[in-house]
């Protein structure tokens, strides 16, 4: 699925937490946030799309998941944090080039063409990866190694980027063709911006084939590159983008502008982003994969990046000025986003509540990120009991309703949306602070569930207030209003 990823190293964040975040840009799929306990994890997994069957280990951990409510196309768990305080988001669809895909073709499901023949299963994909990996890992690095084994055994039918984090490390992994892969530990002092392209712009092959301190890859990656003449780099510099990535005209409309917007926000002083002397433009081919931000980054900054619609630039969808450039680039916050989460692992928090998942449903431009503790037996009904029918009784549909009303009446509604986002951010942080202290003092498991219930009650109250205001504002702007009073 087209998505946007942000990764934050522990020394780039304001509280030394690690963060991995991604917009899951689907097709208006209805989502929920649930907890999968070990007894609910399958012993054998079967993919709906690729029909591949995979036996699973006997000792899964409990984990959070954001599955589709309608399972006709599979689980699509999207993101989560497990009981070992390891986060995962999977996957961001990335790009490749014909050379790499021809050298290691994608493993796609093939239906039997003749009677008596058997269907040929495909590899694994976004539908499957969280369920196959997250319950079985106790560190971010283990996540890379677990997924690498699955890729080498079963292959994949699509190009994907996957992120993992624990309290110390963030790892980014990218698939290459059907079976190859490479992964890099995100430096502690940077923020990564990945918008649907093959992302990594540097990679230490010596480390990957030596100490493996911060780089991992397929065992035959060097030979694979040489044998298939994949390397386009000059002067001995190894930039994996020029080996495995794409460089198409459509990237300049769909992908690179998103990285430009994020970099512009993170580094307004250290780089030039606008004007005739700009170091980087929305259509630059050399936008960095990672940047050291000009200031420390908080959760709210990540939320802002992932709700981006080029606000403050000539390209903003909602600009009141007709710049001639409005809407020419694909925004980060789009209508068909299903769920966005920020998996935050906090090293300073009590062990039981190190993992906090900030979740937003629907368009991030208008949605609010609600924090909840991940280490629980079940999520509140407000997050977990979601049906395909529109309702004001759960967070998914409340987020969607707010987005639909605000988008259609942006000028009169955006102030109310911003107040709504602020209220949930403040209310969420206050409750997390309060319960961090309570849990540190008593270590009572019941307090974690109590905190999540209060967080959801706060969110529901705020959503109701905001919807009341937006419905009234939208009613006043209906086309069939008439100035003459009936009184």
Distance, in Å, from the CA atom of 100 to the CA atom of 244, rounded to the nearest integer, reads 6
User: Contact 137/67 with Cβ under 8 angstroms?
Assistant: no
User: Contact 353/383 with Cβ under 8 angstroms?
Assistant: no
Distance, in Å, from the CA atom of 142 to the CA atom of 462, rounded to the nearest integer, reads 39
Sheet holding 87-93, edge to edge: 79-81, 87-93, 160-165, 170-176, 180-185, 215-217
Would you call 72 exposed, middle or buried from its count of C-beta atoms within 10 A (0-12, 13-18, 19+)?
exposed
Distance, in Å, from the CA atom of 392 to the CA atom of 406, rounded to the nearest integer, reads 16
**Catalytic (active site) residue 3:** yes
User: Contact 65/105 with Cβ under 8 angstroms?
Assistant: no
DSSP 8-state symbol, 82 = B
Q: Which string of DSSP letters, residue by residue, matches 105-167?
A: -----B---STTPPPB---B-TTTHHHHHGGG-SSHHHHHHHHHHHHHHH-BSS-EEEEEE-S
* Set 3, 343, 413, 463: catalytic member: 3
DSSP tally for the chain: helices H, then strands E:
13, 17
* Residue whose entry in the numeric block shows the structure tokens 């306990």: 37
Distance, in Å, from the CA atom of 41 to the CA atom of 374, rounded to the nearest integer, reads 17
In angstroms, the first-to-last Cα distance of the chain is: 54
Residue 337 in tokens: 């986003």
Q: Which string of DSSP letters, residue by residue, matches 269-335?
A: TTS--SSTT-S--TT-TT--SEE--SS-B-HHHHHHHHT-S-TTSTT-TT-SS--S-TT-S--SS-T
| Secondary structure class of 35 (helix, strand, coil) | strand
Half-sphere exposure of 188 (CA within 13 A, CB side): 10
* Of 179, 2, 181, nearest in space to 108 by CA: 179
Distance, in Å, from the CA atom of 328 to the CA atom of 39, rounded to the nearest integer, reads 49
Distance, in Å, from the CA atom of 399 to the CA atom of 393, rounded to the nearest integer, reads 11
Residues classed as catalytic = 3
């Amino acid at each position: 699925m087209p998505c946007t990823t942000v990764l934050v190293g522990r020394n780039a964040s304001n509280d030394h937490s690690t963060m991995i975040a991604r917009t899951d840009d689907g097709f208006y799929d209805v989502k929920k946030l649930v907890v999968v306990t070990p007894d609910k994890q399958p012993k054998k997994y079967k993919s709906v799309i690729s029909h591949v069957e995979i036996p699973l280990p006997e000792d899964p951990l409990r984990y959070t998941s954001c599955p589709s409510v309608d399972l006709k196309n599979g689980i699509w768990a999207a993101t989560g944090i497990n009981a070992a305080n390891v986060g995962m988001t999977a996957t961001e669809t990335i790009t490749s080039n014909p050379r790499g895909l021809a050298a290691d073709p994608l493993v796609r499901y093939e239906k039997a063409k003749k009677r008596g023949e058997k269907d040929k299963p495909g590899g694994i994909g976004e539908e499957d990866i969280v369920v196959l990996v997250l319950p079985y890992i106790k560190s971010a690095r283990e996540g890379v190694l677990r997924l690498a084994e699955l890729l080498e055994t079963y292959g994949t039918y699509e190009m994907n980027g996957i992120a993992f984090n624990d309290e110390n490390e963030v790892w980014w992994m990218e698939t290459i063709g059907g079976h190859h892969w490479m992964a890099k530990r995100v430096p502690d002092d940077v923020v990564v911006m990945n918008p649907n392209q093959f992302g990594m712009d540097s990679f230490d092959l010596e480390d990957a084939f030596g100490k493996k301190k911060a780089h991992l890859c397929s065992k035959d990656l060097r030979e694979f590159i040489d044998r298939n003449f994949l390397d386009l780099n000059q002067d001995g510099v190894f930039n994996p983008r020029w080996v495995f990535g794409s460089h198409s005209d459509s990237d300049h409309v769909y992908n690179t502008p998103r990285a430009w917007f994020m970099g512009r926000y993170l580094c307004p002083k250290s780089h030039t982003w606008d004007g005739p002397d700009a170091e980087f433009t929305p259509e630059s081919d050399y936008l960095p994969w990672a940047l050291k931000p000009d200031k420390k980054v908080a959760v709210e900054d990540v939320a802002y990046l992932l709700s981006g619609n080029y606000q403050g630039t000539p390209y903003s969808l909602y600009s009141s000025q007709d710049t001639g450039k409005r809407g020419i680039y694909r925004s980060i916050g789009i209508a068909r986003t299903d769920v966005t989460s920020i998996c935050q692992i906090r090293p300073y928090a009590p062990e039981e509540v190190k993992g906090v998942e900030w979740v937003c449903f629907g368009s991030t431009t208008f949605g609010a990120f609600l924090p909840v503790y991940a280490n629980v037996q079940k999520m509140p009904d407000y997050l977990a009991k979601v049906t395909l029918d529109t309702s004001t009784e759960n967070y998914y549909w409340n987020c969607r309703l707010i987005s639909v009303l605000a988008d259609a009446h942006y000028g009169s509604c955006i102030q109310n949306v911003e107040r709504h986002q602020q209220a949930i951010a403040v209310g969420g942080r206050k409750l997390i602070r309060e319960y961090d202290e309570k849990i540190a003092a008593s270590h009572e498991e019941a307090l974690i569930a109590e905190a999540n219930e209060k967080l959801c009650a706060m969110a529901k109250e705020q959503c109701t207030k905001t919807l009341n205001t937006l419905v009234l504002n939208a009613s006043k702007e209906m086309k069939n209003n008439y100035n003459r009073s009936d009184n």
